[in-house]
A and B are shown apart, each in its own frame.
Chain A
Amino acid sequence: MKVKVLSRNPDDYVRETKLDIQRVPRNYDPTLHPFEVPREYTRALNATKLERVFAKPFLGSLDGHRDGVNCLAKHTKSLSTLLSGSCDGEVKVWNLSKRECVRTLQAHEGFVRGMVVRFCGTSFFTVGDDKTIKHWKMETPGYGEEEEPLNTILGKTVFTGLDHHQKEGVFATCGQQVDIWDEQRSSPIRSFTWGVDSFSAVRFNPVETELLASCASDRSIVLYDMRESAPLKKVIMTMRSNTLCWNPMEAYYFTCANEDYNLYTYDMRYLEKPQMVHMDHVSAVLDVDYSPTGQEFVSASFDKTVRIFPRDAGHSREVYHTKRMQHVICIKWSSDSKYILSGSDEMNIRLWKANAAEKLGVLAPREKEAANYSQKLKEKFQNHPQIRRIARHRHLPKSIYHQTKELRVMKEARRRKEMNVRKHSKPGAVPVVSEKEKHVVAVVK
């Protein structure tokens, strides 16, 4: 007779001393782990609920301005530095990690309209309502030294926007026309006009560095090549765009913030139809900025909310608002892609997390693993109705909630009416126009 009976040596399964960690032998046999899918589903549901519980995006506010914050600028080299310009012409430099103002300077009389940090990070430019462009040193002046700009250029008209070239000492301003300036000269090296008398924003392309785009008051977005004497092409839309931002990773895409409550992502090469229409705001969108990953962007609106949109989704994934935040004028996504900074009417700059439920600080490896695991589970079960309902739910201020509802009703009514018109007219007389095509009037080359 040959016999063997299961007999486990406890030494192989129990830790030797109390200082050791417990032994956990594993066996991945599926029959020992029944209900794989329902258990994962339960975990995903719990993870989704916890995500909503821990969603506390507001980190803090930087106050000190004595008028509304009109523009923000990221430092190109330092993550912890932020520049802000207000409506009374004051520029403040902030240390974000300490959340304090490190320098204040009276840059202009009237509004500070635009501000940009030079690519080297040692100086910055401001434009204001007093028709000047000022070039400032980044360093704080020493004790007893006067706060003076390195250079001041007096323009002929008011400047409304400013952007700096990525690699060279060249910057662009906009106002009545788009001007390209050399840092060494006091007159523009090139000026572009195209039958418009006012521009609201100008942006250099981050990859094709000679390309620019600007938003004009005649509801158009104009593209330029710095090396050519005339603009490249423009697209005219039904409403005016306030600002635009290039996608930093796929730099042929740009997104513009429009007065008609929507944002439009265009492919620079095909302006006939936007790639995506991003809806959700209930008032004019004032500013937009891309995350450095190029996957998402954040928008600031007159409806007192900040929304985060995935690059390829029609609706926002997140909305931020507080009771005290008024019209959000300017927005920036920090260069480490973790934070969002918003400047608003009521003189505050607010610091938000880009991912509302993210835990800040150093994570232990096990914490990181658990977070990754739950993230994957949430992705896996995201389309189950209960999980989707919880993940999508956001509390909105009453006014915005009602306006959203109202807009939905209006849109539905318009659609219904169009359908009726189509029904009662000659077949083909009222063609079906998609939402993307609706907002483009013409493309001019």
Chain B
Amino acid sequence: MNRLCNMEPRVMDDEMLKLAVGEQGLRDEARQLAKQEGILFKDVLSLQLDFQNILRIDNLWQFENLQKLQLDNNIIEKIEGLENLTRLVRLDLSFNNIEAIEGLNTLVNLEDLSLFNNRISKIDSLDALVKLQVLSLGNNQIGNMMNIIYLRRFKDLRTLSLSGNPVAEAEDYRTFICAYLPDLVYLDFRRIDDHMKELAEMKHQCSVDELKHQESLMQAQLEDQQARWEELEGQKAAFVEHLNGPFLFDSMYAEDVEGSQLSHLPGVGELVQTYKDKFVIICQNIFKFGLKQQEKRKAELDTFMGCVQEAVQEKQEQGKHKIAKFEEKHLLMLSSIRDESELTNFEIKMAEHSEDITELVSVLMTLEMQLVEQLEETINMFERNIIDLVGLFVENVQSLMAQCRDLENHHHEKLLEIAISTREKIIKGELDEDLPDAVRLLFVDKDTIVNAVGASHDIHLLKIDNREDELVTRVNSWCTHLVDKIHKDEIMRNRRRVKEINQYVDHVQSELDSLECSDLLD
């Protein structure tokens, strides 16, 4: 880069920014106003800071609504300090000394990015820029053709410039880009004609197809994952995730050392298998029931929301109608009062209109109060129903869980029996099979074996209890949360409406008062 730093690097301070903001293409009168009032950085939409010898981007955090930022022809070495400018659409960083693309991860609205004439050697870290349409990377040091494949992810990219890079000297540079970025319209400031496209397609079809295939595989995988995740989410919303299979059963045995040791005993394997089958069936039942209940709850909620929406809408329409009517009258009244010359008449009319306003207030408030009453009733009804539903669900789940526990108890008894009989056999020396040493150790005396079986049983029961508790607490908390939210929303709605009415009436009243004032002044 042959830009000589014959000036001191400057710091982006408030003064510089204010100056820049003040110079935003305003005409005389507007500028006068701007000077008079000052401009908040928050309201600035575009900012031009070129040829300022800036070394470091700084102090831009106030420009929340900035859409266009020009920082070209400076000596910036690193992209930073742009995190807050999430509304940014255009960013110009050309003619700087930037070496790597970074710090752009929050600029999701960016459409036009210029990094012309920098020292970038790799296209990278642009993942967040999903809306990117124009990318200018000319006069950089990009040398690897594979950088272009990275650009395939930007579906809206239409304009790209890469001339002046080592890549651009390659023989098949243009065809390569055209083939790999088929949606591109302009490359290096020139339109890509159809002939070029055909040529590129012919030349690189094989590799592009391969790439496409890989991409589609990836895509499919991603989608698959997404679908699975969504399904799990749905199950979680129904509070029965991981119950449509042997997950719970497996988790019971996962931490159960003794249980797995005991499964080596003769006959235990089969026992565990039948136990598992039965257990899984019950789990499946819980799962199905849970999904069904979830649907029911959802339908209930939907009808409730729909009804509430309808009721609110209806009252809103009525209110709007009333206001529209009033507004007509209001305008007429205002003009007639304005034209009134006689004081007595004037006062009479003023009083009349004030009365009108109070009437409007009372009408609107009545409507609102009606709505509040109606909604309260409905909400209470819904609350009762949803609590009932949840109660039913919990009860059923509990009974099913109890079945699980019964199974476990049953299994435990059987296991104990087998263990004791095995021990007897061992004592008698009748045991045919070889047992692992760790298992043999358990049969040292009766207490040990009974304890082992008991421990296994305890773990199993604990797991079942935990799952049940989790489910019940979650569903209950969901329920209370929902009901709370509905109540809160309703209160908020009511407050907002009352505030709105008051605000409006204040406004109307102030209009009327201002007439009075002006009249008195006259």
A binds B: no
